[in-house]
A and B are shown apart, each in its own frame.
Chain A
C-alpha cells in the first residue's frame, strides 16, 4: 500500500511548498539529514523546471517499500511543451552553463533511479526514487 501526497505548482512559492512536503515525508520515512536535503533539492529542481518551462504542473511524493527497504518516489508531471531532445537536457554542462543549476543530471545524481517520459506538445512526467541506505 503506497501513500501519495501532492502539491500543485503554479507560482514560485509552490516550489517551497513542494520542498516542505518532500522534506517532511523524507524525514518520516526515516531518511537522514543529508538525504533529506538531497531529496528536497531534487524536488526543488523538478518543481522549478515545471514553474519555468511548463507554467504549471504537479509534484507528488510517494512513500514506497520493497523487500524490507523503504524509500520515496518523486513524480513531477506537467502538460507543458515537453522536451524535444532529452539526451541534451541529460548532458552535463547543458543546464549549468547559465546559473549553476543542478538541472536534470543533478536530479539523477541526487536520487537512485530516474525515469523521464516526455512528448513534445503534451507534457513531461519524471519519476525519481531514492531508497534509505
Chain B
C-alpha cells in the first residue's frame, strides 16, 4: 500500500510541478482526504514527499534533504495530536450513545400516570435542557377524589441531577396513599434526601393535592418556585407561598401547609425555575411575560395552556433551553 500511495503522490506532484493549476491543487486535497482516511500520519506524508522528490530530482543539494528530516521530526507531534483527537472523537461518540440509553432508562424509570379526576384538567409539559431531565413530576392519585402532584427540581442539571431524581421517585413510591398531607409528603422525602445526598446537592420540591369533594387545593413547598393561583372570578393571579427549607439540608424540618378553595375556571400553575428564569442572550425574560401568556390562554384547556406557554418561551429563547423546563396546571372545570 505505501508504494501505491507513493506512486499516486508522484503523479499528482509531477502534474502540479508541470502545470500548477487549481485543478492540480484540488486533486492534491482530495488525495490528502484519502490519506487521512487511511490514517497516514503527517510525518509519513512528508516522508513520502521527500522520497518522491529524491526520485524526481536527485541532484538537489544536501541541505534540502536534511531540512525534511527536521520537518518530519516536527510533524510527529502533529500526527500524535491528530491520532489523539480521533480517539477522543470516538470516545465522545460512545458517550453520546450511552447518554441516549441513560436518557431512555430515565424516561421509563420516571414515568408517571396522569390522574383522571372528574372536573379537573391536568396539563403537563416537561422538557430537559440537555438529554437528562433534572426536573421531576410525580402524580399520586386514587383516580376518584384526589389528585396529588410533586414538582421537584434538582439544583444543577444533567446526569447528577437525573440520578438524584430516581431517589425522589422511590421515596414517592413508598407513599402510595394520596390522602397523605402535603407537609407529611415533604417531610418523608426530606428525610430520604438528607440521608442519601451530598451536601452540595439541593432539591426543591412543591407538593399539591386537589380534593374533589371540598374543592380544596392543599400544598406545601420545600424552597420551590411558588405556584400561581388564578382566581377566575376576580381575574387575578396570586402566588402560593409557604415556608419550607430545600430538601436535604437538615433532617428534621416541619413544612408549612396551606390550602385554597378552587371554583370552576380557577387553576393552579406549578413550575420549575426553567420557566420563571427563562433567559436570552440579553438576559432574563420578564417573569410578567409568563403570567401574561398564561392569562391570555386562561379559557383554554389546561394542556393547551402549558403547550402554548412552552412554545412561546422556547421561541423567545431562540429554541435554546438553558434549564430544564417543567410546567403543570391543575384546572378546575366544574
Contact = CB atoms under 8 A, between A and B. Distances in A.
Interface of A: 32-34, 37-38, 40-41, 92-93, 96, 100, 102, 105-106, 109-110
Looking at chain B's contact residues, the main secondary structure is helix
A100 B76 CA distance: 12
Nearest to B91: A92
B80 A33 contact: no
A41 B88 contact: no
Interface of B: 43-44, 47, 50, 69, 72-73, 76-77, 80-81, 83-84, 87-88, 91
Q: Which 4 A-B pairs have the closest CB atoms?
A: A106-B80, A34-B47, A102-B80, A41-B76
| Most B CB within 10 A of own CB, among A37, A96, A100 | A37
A133 B326 CA distance: 60
Contacts of B80: 41, 102, 106, 109-110
Nearest to B65: A33
Contacts of B43: 34, 37-38
Contacts of A110: 76, 80
A89 to B, nearest CB: 14
A33 B87 contact: no
A40 B91 CA distance: 28
A56 to B, nearest CB: 26
B83 A109 contact: yes
A102 B77 contact: yes
A92 B88 contact: yes
Contacts of A41: 73, 76-77, 80
Given A34-B72, A110-B80, 13 more contacts: A33-B50, A34-B47, A37-B43, A37-B73, A37-B76, A38-B43, A41-B76, A41-B77, A92-B88, A92-B91, A102-B77, A105-B87, A109-B83
B244 to A, nearest CB: 43
Contacts of A37: 43, 69, 72-73, 76
A96 B91 CA distance: 16
Contact of B76 (A38, A96, A105): A38
Contacts of A106: 80, 84
Contacts of B69: 33, 37
11 contacts: A32-B47, A33-B69, A34-B44, A34-B47, A37-B43, A37-B73, A41-B76, A41-B80, A96-B81, A100-B81, A102-B77
Contact of A93 (B44, B77, B84): B84
A11 B11 CA distance: 48
A102 B43 CA distance: 15
B84 A96 contact: yes
Given A38-B76, A100-B77, A106-B80, A93 B88 contact: yes
